[in-house]
Amino acid sequence: MTENLKLESDATDFKRQSCDVFPWFALQVRTRQEASVAQQLNGQGYEKFLPLYKLRKRWSDRIKEVNTPLFPGYLFCRFNPQDRLPILKTPGVIQIVGFNNGPTAVDEAEIRSIQTLVTAGVPHQPWPFLAAGDRVRIESGPLLGLEGILIDVKRSHRLVLSVTLLQRSVAVEIDSALITAISPTRLRQPEKSNPQDQQVLASV
């Protein structure tokens, strides 16, 4: 019995170590089952990543902050795409996100950016996806080295990080003194807009 448990543990450790050589993939899962699926994948020895953010919810007598998936209905996992059946058989998993009837890897740099943001502990929130725009780099602080799209919303600077495959973005408030433009600034203004709600993008 003890030997069987050791073999299972060794197999799990081997799977966890070997996963490091594989790319990240996005899994579409049932809404409100993100944490459960993540826990199951972790138990199977897979490296998973479920980014969360604090959402303020109003109850009848108080306002409470709860940890909520940054990308509702999705989480990320490293695995061998040639051996994906165990992933698909995990309860709660709907499909592996991809194109042409096959899984598509998520950009490694995009995952690292989201991981850095989450572990830094700075306030962040979901944001409408920006497919193109001007990029800046953070030069100091806990988010040092991150690159993203700079926008101005009601006089507050935010850096937008994106997961292209999911067409989802995340925004984090930053101090404009800590950033430098990667290339010259271009202003994009709609023909008719409210000046207070205007978004200013800095260029790629």
> What tens digit of pLDDT does each residue of 113-138 get?
999 999 998 889 898 776 555 678 88
* Average pLDDT, rounded, for the chain: 80
Give the pLDDT confidence score for residue 195 in this predicted structure.
Answer: 35
Question: Token digits for 46?
Answer: 């897979």
d(CA 199, CA 187): 9
Distance CA 52, CA 170 (A): 11
Look at the domain 1-106 and name its fold: Alpha-Beta Plaits (3.30.70)
Q: Find the DSSP H helices in 19-168.
A: 34-43, 85-88, 108-120
105-109, 154-158, 159-163, 170-174: which is most confident: 105-109
Q: How far apart are CA 1 and CA 134, in angstroms?
A: 59
Check pLDDT > 80 for residue 38.
yes
- Residue that wins the pLDDT comparison between 126 and 5: 126
pTM of full prediction above 0.85: no
Quick one: pLDDT at residue 204?
A: 24
**Residue 9 has what pLDDT?**
54
147-165: per-residue pLDDT in tens?
888 777 666 778 888 899 9
Domain ranges of the chain: 1-106, 107-204
Q: Report the percentage of the chain scoring pLDDT > 90.
A: 45
Torsion angles phi and psi, residue 7, rounded to 5: -60, -40
Reduce the DSSP state of residue 78 to 3 states and report it.
strand
